Amino acid sequence: MPNKNVIFEAKDLVKEFGHGKTHNVVLKGLNFEIEDGEIVTIVGGSACGKSVVAKHLLGFMQPTKGELFYKGKKITNQRDHWQTVQPIFQDPFSAFNQFFSIRSQLEDSFKVLYKRPSRAEIKERVDAALLAVNVMPSDLKEKFPFELSGGQMQRMLLARIFALKPQVLIADEATSMVDACVRANILDYLMKLKKELNMTIVFITHDIGLAYYVSDRIFVMHDGGIVEHGTPDEVALHPKSNHTIQLLEDIPDIHKDWIKRKRA
């Protein structure tokens, strides 16, 4: 197609870990393309290799075999890569340094950029980002990461993204620790931000309900390979692969039977 603008392109991506006894092939030849301005969700059970894909997209890892291109080039310099690609991680407690206040860490996250805004602008942007994730900046004065709950910490990670405004966001299980209301809030704001910046978002999740709601395309992964991909309607409503059907069945939907407790 002529006006297709591919951001990420993977060709036969293979990643192996360990040697000898512990040798383990985690990614078994992935082929995919992610286009500009698209929201792609990678869905799969635990240990299917979805986080490894995220680490490749962020430049933390290099593939063993195969190639991964970002805007037509291989990822060589991580700092260059992080000017435009930013992550949200699963566990917010290990993402923040416990010895520094959250506010200072949010302001320090601008240090990754080559072209930094002025101090006053950084302050303004952090304030706006905190408000966006439903936290009053005054509540956070001199607070340290251990003083917040898990969900609040997750929102701090999101605030970092809202302040930095990257072009590409890799969200690795970003909403798995927050409850439904906060999740709706976060998705709301992400969609707004996406419209504003035409951001490309790669969601990585095991929640196919979330995937169905947000994404333009869904990849279903199992055991290091993509078993099914397509639009949300194709994947979630008319699944073809057994793994997708299994994932859909295991969701505790209120209208369907799940596990019944046997009473003695």
The contact set with another protein (CB under 8 A) reads: 44-47, 134-136, 139, 148-152, 154, 176-185, 187-188, 206-213, 232-233, 236-237, 246-248, 250-254, 258-259, 261-264
In the Cβ-directed half-sphere of 238, how many Cα atoms lie within 13 Å?
4
- What minimum distance in Å lies between the beta carbon of 255 and another protein? 8
- What minimum distance in Å lies between the beta carbon of 69 and another protein? 29
Q: Helices in the chain by DSSP H: which ranges?
A: 50-57, 78-82, 92-95, 102-108, 119-132, 150-164, 180-197, 208-214, 232, 242-249
* Token pair for 103: 């506010």
Which of 86, 154 has the CB closer to another protein? 154
- What minimum distance in Å lies between the beta carbon of 136 and another protein? 6
In the Cβ-directed half-sphere of 80, how many Cα atoms lie within 13 Å?
7
CB atoms within 10 A of CB 121: 11
Distance CA 88, CA 9 (A): 21
- What minimum distance in Å lies between the beta carbon of 66 and another protein? 26
Which of 78, 131 has the CB closer to another protein? 131
∠ CA 165-170-173, rounded to 5°: 120
8 to each of 101, 141, 242, how far by Cα in Å? 35, 39, 28
- What minimum distance in Å lies between the beta carbon of 241 and another protein? 14
Which of 100, 117 has the CB closer to another protein? 100
- What minimum distance in Å lies between the beta carbon of 33 and another protein? 23
Which of 171, 236 has the CB closer to another protein? 236
Q: Is residue 193 exposed (0-12), middle (13-18) or buried (19+ Cβ within 10 Å)?
A: buried
Which of 14, 177 has the CB closer to another protein? 177
Spell out the residues 6+ positions from residue 201 whose beta carbon is closer than 8 angstroms to its own.
38, 39, 40, 168, 169, 171, 190, 194, 214
Distance of CA 66 to the CA centre of its chain: 23
Which of 179, 196 has the CB closer to another protein? 179
CA 53, 57, 60, 66 torsion-angle sign: positive
- What minimum distance in Å lies between the beta carbon of 93 and another protein? 9
- What minimum distance in Å lies between the beta carbon of 85 and another protein? 25
Which of 95, 187 has the CB closer to another protein? 187
Which of 170, 218 has the CB closer to another protein? 218
